[in-house]
């Protein structure tokens, strides 16, 4: 298809007009305008602007980082899709996995930081309501994107595990030799993947204030990290020279239970995100308008009712006043 | 390359949201820029059928406001304005800029902003010293509302009244024609094509066509035009044909009742900008969206209503089966033993079930939506016996008349005043010679029903003044019969066996469709040779002479001045399926009108001519 532009840039024309207009105005007046303009500028609450741009800068940095992470992720996905037995890029995958994991946890903390910045801003009075909404939306958007990236990452890992299992089965079928400890891919992959886990910072104290979607991320990743010691344990059991089939089957069962638990946790997180995603999918921009209209109408009717009640109260007051006066009259007449 | 207007316009809007920067492969901008979108009422109508809040978020729009709203300062954030180039909008933008509401201003105008307004903007911003705030000014050429892939509307209201108003002056008519031509020009720019224009001689169609031709010529002369270069080697085969018609060309289609799903939903329930409000069971209004993202709607909207009901039923059954399947696999509720060997398989199934849930819920929603709509429709149809009106009207158009007894029965039977009025007007249009006594009795019946007869009077007057209007409509349907008699006969047997109502009417072809078919085929046809032919690419002297622009056309665009409707749209889309040469037809109109809206416009005209019955105020309560 041909690359066409169905729009026309008229910025130059606009600035051309501005130039001619500026020249046509007397230079003195123009200078005045400039002075006034500069003065008006100085009155601006500078600090607020600086803080806002701090927020923006951070947001764009996080956005860029998420973008880069997702690019790495797509590379990882390509590697993981390779299913040939012979050139198995286990090492690369392990490294990439570790890097991505680190990045995601780093982004998570950065996002929480950003939210803290936003919250501290909101406490100040001189920030308009629109600004608050804007920054809230930015944070939400970033959160959603990070969420998506994490989900994608998890999918890739699941795919990788499946592939590994298939390999393992194939290898066993052909070699018939239970030399598991040397070839078991989980051993090689897992320790690498779990390396950054200890260095992962504990959830920051203000993490409680964040929305549930982001706070879910942290515990889940810890859960993953915890599962690997379990694996190593089962591995050690196998190293015991007893080539007992019974033991092996026990290990297998344990393994299965572990994977089941893992899958279940996946289901729960998926359900949680599904519920949270329902929200804004189907909203159209004119929906807001109608809601507003309904609200305004409701407010109007409420006001009308209030007016009615007020006016009836007024009548009541006048009546009471009259009764009081009458009493006073009677009182004065009879006593005096 | 099929022209897909909806896709093209969406692309344009997304590009605008990304500050007119080039897009990357992934569809998002290079850098994440968070911005605020400001639009006016008209542009909201453009945006709302095309793009959802979710998509806006995806392209970095955090807040979206109407321009008239009282907005607060958001520092350090660029704002994208998408507004019509009008005086009032300019006067809203200038204070925004001088108060420095936003960091930078990207101004996008829905059509070309005239020079005086641009000067206004320049002087206004210069005075308040905010010129630096305005970073870009663009003409977007997007001043039309795309409802479906091949359907657009210029959203210009009561065009029919304005064009046919006897008191309208030359100036006003010219202004209207200018607006229509501008809108069409925007559509063509968005599509990026220069079509060959054909239209019947005389009337507004010719005026619009020649003005559009002029515009395109002027534009093609300038060096950096917005149409793809290399028009020289493009044969007529690749260029689309633009047929422009006037509503008076075939008035009856706008008025008659129809029994297919989409026209019915539009006519009876008032589909507006792809959105529908239906009275729910508990009195609350429910709002539905019907566009190409709804698979059921796009698959079945051209079917007749009974078929749609059947289709909903089958979909519902299929859905129920699938749900049962999922339940069975996961063993939910059956209380099966939970033994170890089955554990792995069980979670696998559970995973699968969870994964299939979103798809199932989506289907469920679609089915629910259409069940609701169909129920509401059925209620209306029963109450107003629309099926009877549809049948009798199509009979009238076929035979060119109706039994007096049947006519009276329809006018005295069920149905709203508006239905009866529409039926009476259809009767007027279909009959060749006016039988005075019959017309009087029809009028009496209308009065008895309490309908506002000014529209009826207007059509009667026009008919007696200008017999050719009715004659053309009539001769069209007449020759139609001759052409299609054989086919109809063949299919009526199957119609009886299938028990489907109104098969006759669905095979009846509209005059517009027949004309478009003949014009796209490009074969010599005495009926249409008199049509004006304008080719903006050809040199002025030889226009109309070149035979290369007469050849068969693959793409066609049809534009109806003075209000189109879904009946014609559906009929033209059927043409693309039936015919070999035409692959794609885009249909557009100044606005999409329901039958009653058109009749109301006729009524307004009738009143302007000093006609109309004593019950003038009842027209609004007719529907």
For residues A18, A24, A29, A31, the Cα torsion angle rounded to the nearest 10 degrees is 60
- CB-CB contact of B173 with B163 (8 Å): yes
Domain count, chain B: 3
Residue B358 lies in a domain: yes
Same domain, B372 and B309: yes
* B386-408 pLDDT tens trace: 888 888 888 887 776 677 777 88
Helix extents (H) in B36-114: 41-47, 53-58, 87-98
What integer is the mean pLDDT of A194-198? 39
Residue B559 to residue B590: CA distance in whole angstroms: 8
Which residue in B53, B129, B140 is closest to A7 by CB distance? B140
Beta carbons of A285 and B44 less than 8 Å apart: yes
Same domain, B129 and B162: no
- More confident position, B4 or A257: B4
> In this model, does residue A148 exceed pLDDT 90?
no
> Number of CB pairs < 8 Å for A and B?
181
Give the pLDDT score at B81: 92
Is A50 near chain B, with CB under 8 Å?
no
Exposed / middle / buried, residue B58 (Cβ in 10 Å: 0-12, 13-18, 19+): middle
Give the pLDDT score at A44: 42
| Domain termination site, one of B107, B141, B175 | B141
Is A282 near chain B, with CB under 8 Å?
yes
* Exposure string over B194-207, b if 16+ CB within 10 A, otherwise e: bbbbbbbeebbbbb
Q: What is the rounded radius of gyration, in angstroms, for the C-alpha atoms of chain B?
A: 27
Give the pLDDT score at A31: 46
Beta carbons of A64 and B31 less than 8 Å apart: yes
Beta carbons of A7 and B20 less than 8 Å apart: yes
Candidate from A135-139, A271-275, B126-130 with smallest mean pLDDT: A271-275
Beta carbons of A6 and B189 less than 8 Å apart: yes
Nearest CA to B247 out of B180, B151, B160, B157 is that of: B160
Which residue in A6, A21, A59 is closest to B126 by CB distance? A21
- CB-CB contact of A189 with A224 (8 Å): no
Same domain, B131 and B160: no
Residue B194 lies in a domain: yes
Helix extents (H) in A90-128: 90-123
Beta carbons of B53 and A40 less than 8 Å apart: no
For residues B488, B494, B499, B503, the Cα torsion angle rounded to the nearest 10 degrees is -20
Q: Which of A155-159, A230-234, B480-484 has the highest mean pLDDT?
A: A155-159
**SS3 per residue for B269-290:** HCCECCEEEEECCCCCEEEEEC
3-state secondary structure of B81: strand
Q: Name A193's Cβ contacts closer than 8 Å, sequence gap at least 6.
A: A94, A97, A98, A101, A228
Beta carbons of A18 and B357 less than 8 Å apart: no
Residue B108 lies in a domain: yes
Same domain, B23 and B125: yes
Give the pLDDT score at A322: 94
What percent of chain B has pLDDT above 70? 79
Residue B427 token pair: 């009767």
Residues of B in contact with A284 (CB under 8 A): 48, 52-53, 275, 289
Name B39's bridge partners. Answer: B66, B82
Which residue in B31, B74, B343 is closest to A260 by CB distance? B343
Which residue in A11, A22, A134 is closest to B77 by CB distance? A134
> In this model, does residue A146 exceed pLDDT 70?
yes
Residues of A in contact with B112 (CB under 8 A): 8
- More confident position, A272 or B468: A272
> In this model, does residue A324 exceed pLDDT 90?
yes
Nearest CA to B78 out of B169, B3, B16 is that of: B16
Separation in Å, CA of A76 to nearest CA in chain B? 18
Give the pLDDT score at A105: 81
Residues of A in contact with B127 (CB under 8 A): 33
| Domain termination site, one of B123, B141, B159 | B141
What percent of chain A has pLDDT above 90? 6
Residues of A in contact with B188 (CB under 8 A): none
Q: Phi and psi dihedrals of B241, rounded to 5?
A: -105, 130
Residue B391 lies in a domain: no
- CB-CB contact of A62 with A117 (8 Å): no
> In this model, does residue A325 exceed pLDDT 90?
yes
Same domain, B292 and B373: yes
Q: What is the mean pLDDT of chain B?
A: 78
Separation in Å, CA of A132 to nearest CA in chain B? 9
Helix, strand, coil shares of chain B as percentages rounded to 5?
55, 10, 30
Is A320 near chain B, with CB under 8 Å?
no
Q: Is the dihedral of CA B286, B291, B295, B297 positive or negative?
A: positive
Beta carbons of B44 and A286 less than 8 Å apart: yes
- More confident position, B292 or B527: B292
Residue B244 to residue B445: CA distance in whole angstroms: 37
Beta carbons of B129 and A34 less than 8 Å apart: yes
* B115-143 pLDDT tens trace: 899 988 888 888 888 888 888 898 888 88
Beta carbons of B53 and A285 less than 8 Å apart: yes
Tell me the residue range of the domain where B112 lies. 5-141
Residue B163 to residue B247: CA distance in whole angstroms: 10
Is A35 near chain B, with CB under 8 Å?
no
Residue B595 to residue B602: CA distance in whole angstroms: 11
* Exposure string over A108-130, b if 16+ CB within 10 A, otherwise e: bebbbebbebbeebeeeeebeeb
Candidate from B223-227, B323-327, B498-502 with smallest mean pLDDT: B498-502
Beta carbons of B122 and A18 less than 8 Å apart: yes
Q: Scanning every residue of chain B, which has its alpha carbon at the shortest distance from the alpha carbon of A61?
A: B32
Same domain, B555 and B572: yes
Beta carbons of A128 and B134 less than 8 Å apart: no
* Extended beta strands in B281-359, E state: 285-289
* A30-75 pLDDT tens trace: 444 444 444 333 334 445 556 667 777 888 888 888 888 888 888 8
- CB-CB contact of B137 with B119 (8 Å): no
Give the pLDDT score at A93: 78
The residue length of chain A stands at 336
Give the pLDDT score at B611: 65
> In this model, does residue A328 exceed pLDDT 90?
yes
Separation in Å, CA of B617 to nearest CA in chain A? 26
Is A9 near chain B, with CB under 8 Å?
yes
Same domain, B10 and B116: yes
Q: Scanning every residue of chain B, which has its alpha carbon at the shortest distance from the alpha carbon of A285?
A: B48
3-state secondary structure of B82: strand
For residue B285, the Cα-to-chain-centroid distance in whole angstroms is: 24
- More confident position, B231 or A12: A12
Beta carbons of A282 and B275 less than 8 Å apart: no
Beta carbons of A284 and B100 less than 8 Å apart: no
Same domain, B285 and B380: yes
Beta carbons of B62 and A141 less than 8 Å apart: yes
For residue B539, the Cα-to-chain-centroid distance in whole angstroms is: 34
Nearest CA to B430 out of B380, B481, B500, B388 is that of: B481
Same domain, B107 and B175: no
> In this model, does residue A254 exceed pLDDT 60?
yes
Is A291 near chain B, with CB under 8 Å?
no
> In this model, does residue B452 exceed pLDDT 50?
yes
Residues of B in contact with A25 (CB under 8 A): 126
Separation in Å, CA of A55 to nearest CA in chain B? 10
| Domain termination site, one of B141, B158, B180 | B141
Residue B459 to residue B606: CA distance in whole angstroms: 8
CATH code assigned at B132 = 3.40.50.2060
Separation in Å, CA of A309 to nearest CA in chain B? 28
Q: Scanning every residue of chain A, which has its alpha carbon at the shortest distance from the alpha carbon of B190?
A: A6
- Residue to test with chain A: of B25, B43, B122, B293, most A Cβ within 10 A: B122
Q: Which of A263-272, A315-324, B200-209 has the highest mean pLDDT?
A: A315-324
Residue B60 lies in a domain: yes
- CB-CB contact of A44 with B151 (8 Å): no
What integer is the mean pLDDT of B171-187? 90
Residues 125-144 of A with CB under 8 A from B: 128-131, 133-134, 137-138, 141
Residues of A in contact with B47 (CB under 8 A): 285
Q: Name A307's Cβ contacts closer than 8 Å, sequence gap at least 6.
A: none
* A205-225 pLDDT tens trace: 443 433 344 444 444 444 444
Residue A213 to residue A277: CA distance in whole angstroms: 10
Residues of B in contact with A281 (CB under 8 A): 52, 54
Give the pLDDT score at B232: 41
What integer is the mean pLDDT of B314-333? 81
Same domain, B187 and B131: no
Which residue in B48, B63, B131 is closest to A137 by CB distance? B63
* Extended beta strands in B72-182, E state: 79-83, 105-109, 134-139, 145-148, 151-153
> In this model, does residue B149 exceed pLDDT 80?
yes
Give the pLDDT score at B2: 62
Tell me B304's DSSP state.
B
Separation in Å, CA of A321 to nearest CA in chain B? 44
Nearest CA to B312 out of B377, B367, B262 is that of: B367
Residue B460 to residue B85: CA distance in whole angstroms: 41
Q: What is the mean pLDDT of chain A?
A: 69
- CB-CB contact of B54 with B60 (8 Å): no
Task: Identify the band that residue B226 occupies on the pLDDT scale cut at 50, 70 and 90.
Answer: low
Exposed / middle / buried, residue A218 (Cβ in 10 Å: 0-12, 13-18, 19+): buried
Which residue in A36, A53, A267 is closest to B350 by CB distance? A267
Name B105's bridge partners. Answer: B79, B134
Give the pLDDT score at B520: 80
Separation in Å, CA of A196 to nearest CA in chain B? 29
- CB-CB contact of B197 with B534 (8 Å): yes
CATH code assigned at B366 = 3.90.830
Beta carbons of B20 and A9 less than 8 Å apart: yes
- CB-CB contact of B396 with B402 (8 Å): yes
Same domain, B281 and B312: yes
B234: part of which helix (H) or strand (E)? none
Same domain, B134 and B195: no
3-state secondary structure of A205: helix
Instruction: Provide DSSP, A184-198.
Output: -HHHHHHHHHHTHHH
Residue B491 to residue B485: CA distance in whole angstroms: 10
- Residue to test with chain A: of B2, B11, B25, B32, most A Cβ within 10 A: B32
What integer is the mean pLDDT of A237-262? 70
Residue B327 lies in a domain: yes
Residues 145-204 of A with CB under 8 A from B: none
CATH code assigned at B237 = 3.40.50.1910
What integer is the mean pLDDT of B461-466? 73
* A285-309 pLDDT tens trace: 667 777 788 888 889 999 999 888 8
Residues 218-257 of A with CB under 8 A from B: 253, 256-257
């Amino acid at each position: 298809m041909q690359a066409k532009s169905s729009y026309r840039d008229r910025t130059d024309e606009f600035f051309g007009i501005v130039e001619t207009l500026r020249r046509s105005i007397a230079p003195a007046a123009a200078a005045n305008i400039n002075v006034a303009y500069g003065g008006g500028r100085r009155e601006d609450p500078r600090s607020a602007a600086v803080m806002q741009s701090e927020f923006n800068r951070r947001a764009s940095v996080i956005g860029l980082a998420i973008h880069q992470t997702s690019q790495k992720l797509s590379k990882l996905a390509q590697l993981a899709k390779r299913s040939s037995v012979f050139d198995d890029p286990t090492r690369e995958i392990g490294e990439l996995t570790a890097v991505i994991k680190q990045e995601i946890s780093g982004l998570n903390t950065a996002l929480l930081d950003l939210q803290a910045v936003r919250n501290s801003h909101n406490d100040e009075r001189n920030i308009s309501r629109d600004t608050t909404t804007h920054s809230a939306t930015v944070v939400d958007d970033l959160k959603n994107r990070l969420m998506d990236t994490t989900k994608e990452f998890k999918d890739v890992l699941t795919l990788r595990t499946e592939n590994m299992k298939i390999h393992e089965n194939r290898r066993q079928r052909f070699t018939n030799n239970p030399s598991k400890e040397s070839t078991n891919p989980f051993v090689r992959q897992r320790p690498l993947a779990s390396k950054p886990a200890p260095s992962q910072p504990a959830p920051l104290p203000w993490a409680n204030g964040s929305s549930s979607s982001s706070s879910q991320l942290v515990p889940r990743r810890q859960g993953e990290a915890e599962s690997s010691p379990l694996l190593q344990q089962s591995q050690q059991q196998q190293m015991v020279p007893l080539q007992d089939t019974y033991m092996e089957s026990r290990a297998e069962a344990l393994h299965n239970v572990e994977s089941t638990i893992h899958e279940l946790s996946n289901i729960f997180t998926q359900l949680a995100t599904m519920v949270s995603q329902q929200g804004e999918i189907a909203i159209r921009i004119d929906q807001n308008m109608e809601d507003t209209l309904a609200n305004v109408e409701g407010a109007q009717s409420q006001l009308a009712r209030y007016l009615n009640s007020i006016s009836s109260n007024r009548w009541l007051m006048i009546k009471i006043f009259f009764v009081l006066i009458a009493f006073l009259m009677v009182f004065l007449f009879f006593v005096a | 390359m099929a022209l897909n207007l909806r896709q093209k316009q969406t692309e344009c809007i997304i590009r605008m949201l990304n500050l007119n920067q080039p897009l990357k492969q992934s569809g998002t901008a290079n850098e994440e820029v968070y911005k605020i979108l400001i639009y006016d009422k008209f542009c909201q109508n453009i945006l709302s059928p095309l793009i959802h809040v979710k998509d806006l978020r995806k392209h970095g729009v955090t807040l979206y406001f109407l321009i008239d709203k009282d907005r607060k300062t958001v520092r350090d954030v660029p704002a994208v304005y998408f507004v019509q180039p009008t005086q009032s909008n300019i006067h809203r933008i200038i204070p925004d800029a001088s108060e420095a509401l936003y960091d930078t201003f990207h101004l996008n105008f829905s059509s070309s902003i005239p020079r005086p307004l641009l000067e206004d903007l320049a002087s206004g911003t210069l005075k308040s010293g905010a010129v630096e705030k305005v970073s870009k000014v663009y003409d977007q050429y997007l001043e039309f509302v795309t409802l479906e892939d091949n359907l657009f509307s210029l959203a210009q209201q009561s065009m029919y009244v304005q064009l046919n108003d006897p008191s309208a002056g030359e100036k006003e008519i010219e202004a209207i024609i200018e607006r229509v031509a501008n809108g069409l020009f925007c559509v063509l720019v968005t599509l990026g094509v220069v079509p060959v224009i054909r239209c019947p001689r005389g009337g507004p169609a010719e005026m619009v066509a020649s003005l559009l031709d002029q515009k395109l010529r002027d534009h093609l002369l300038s060096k950096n035009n917005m149409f793809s270069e290399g028009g020289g080697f493009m044969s007529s085969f690749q260029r689309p044909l633009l047929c422009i018609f006037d509503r008076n060309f075939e008035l009856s289609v706008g008025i008659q009742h129809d029994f297919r799903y989409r026209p019915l939903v539009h006519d009876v329930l008032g589909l507006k900008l792809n959105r529908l409000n239906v009275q729910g069971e508990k009195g609350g209004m429910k709002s539905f969206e019907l566009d190409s993202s709804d698979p059921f709607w796009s698959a079945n909207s051209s079917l007749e209503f009974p078929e749609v009901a059947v289709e909903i039923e089958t979909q519902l059954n299929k859905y129920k089966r699938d749900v049962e399947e999922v339940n069975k696999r996961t063993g939910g509720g059956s209380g099966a033993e939970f033994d170890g060997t089955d554990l792995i398989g069980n979670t696998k199934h559970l995973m699968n079930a969870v994964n299939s849930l979103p798809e199932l819920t989506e289907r469920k929603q679609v089915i629910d939506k259409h069940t609701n709509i169909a129920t509401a429709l059925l209620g209306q149809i029963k109450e107003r016996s629309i099926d009877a009106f549809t049948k009798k009207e199509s009979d009238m158009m076929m035979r060119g008349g109706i039994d007096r007894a049947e006519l009276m029965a329809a006018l005295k039977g069920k149905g709203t005043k508006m239905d009866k009025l529409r039926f009476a007007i259809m009767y007027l249009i279909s009959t060749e010679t006016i039988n005075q006594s019959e017309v009087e009795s029809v009028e009496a019946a209308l009065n008895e029903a309490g309908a506002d007869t000014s529209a009826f009077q207007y059509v009667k007057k026009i008919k007696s003044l200008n017999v050719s209007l009715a004659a053309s409509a009539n001769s069209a349907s007449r020759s139609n019969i001759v052409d299609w008699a054989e086919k109809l006969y063949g299919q009526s047997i199957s119609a009886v066996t299938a028990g489907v109502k109104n098969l006759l009417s669905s095979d009846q072809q509209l005059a517009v469709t027949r004309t478009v078919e003949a014009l796209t085929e490009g074969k010599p046809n005495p009926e249409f040779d008199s049509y004006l032919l304008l080719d903006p690419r050809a040199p002025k002297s030889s226009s109309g002479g070149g035979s290369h622009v007469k050849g068969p056309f693959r793409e066609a665009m049809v534009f109806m001045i003075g209000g189109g409707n879904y009946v014609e749209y559906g009929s033209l889309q059927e043409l693309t399926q039936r015919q070999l040469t035409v692959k794609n037809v885009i249909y557009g109109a100044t606005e999409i009108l329901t039958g009653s809206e058109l009749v109301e416009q006729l009524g307004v005209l009738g009143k302007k001519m000093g006609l109309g019955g004593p019950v003038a105020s009842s027209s609004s309560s007719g529907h």
